[in-house]
Amino acid sequence: MGTATLQSNHEELAALTSGLRVNIGCGTSVADGWYNIDNSPTIPLSRIPFARRLLRIPAWPQDVHRHNALKGLPFSDGSVDFIYSSHTFEHFTYDQSLALARECFRVLKLGGLIRIAVPDLEQLVRDYLQDRDPMASHRFVSRLLLAHTWRDFLHQGAHHSQMFDTRSLLAMLKAAGFPDPRPSRFRDSRIPGVFEVELESRRNESLYVEAEKRS
């Protein structure tokens, strides 16, 4: 049996056994076999070619479901196998993030997994402390992306409302009901097909945490 056939069989098996996988705050980076959620107001506008060109809106994939996750997830209790979210939780306030994490706990099955990637504040601080430039402090503050403008309405995701380090992200997941969240590494996950949604371009700027629903 050839390598291509083995790979094809592996992918088919993963698709059959992966269950319901939800990608919260997917942006335009989506993958088949995932329920992709984003709340950008540009999603419906992107379906109009003239508006997309005029406003320079990205061409959103057709399988992105526009939904405000802060108003609850559109799934029944204990119905989701896996949840993935990359560079999304930092765009909410802490209270909103905690409420969403609790909502994720609600919809996950027992034994279900959540994996969150966010910008790594510790890495940014290390970069700042090693920066000998006189304007290093200003560059550090700029990299935090904590400013908000009217442009956020059309281009959500450009700015942050908070920043996490590993300790605060673990603490948030514990407060949401996950008993033993753990730090992880890039694409080192028990979620089938995580490589499809975990972007290489964010590898060096992100911290990763994964947790299991146990009760």
Contact 134, 104 (CB under 8 A): no
Cα–Cα distance, 150 to 163 (Å, whole number): 21
User: What stretch of H or E contains 172?
Assistant: helix 166-175
pLDDT in tens, 7-35: 444 444 344 446 999 999 999 989 999 99
Tokens of 143: 């990299």
* Nearest Cα to Cα of residue 49 among 37, 35, 34, 60: 60
User: What stretch of H or E contains 118?
Assistant: strand 108-119
Res 8: pLDDT: 43
pTM (2 d.p.): 0.86
Res 4: pLDDT: 46
* Nearest Cα to Cα of residue 209 among 116, 111, 102, 81: 116
CATH number belonging to domain 11-120+161-212? 3.40.50.150
What letter represents residue 27's amino acid?
Answer: G
Backbone angles phi, psi at 135, to 5 degrees: -100, 20
Res 151: pLDDT: 60
Question: With a cut of 70, which residues of the chain have pLDDT below it?
Answer: 1-18, 148-158
Res 146: pLDDT: 83
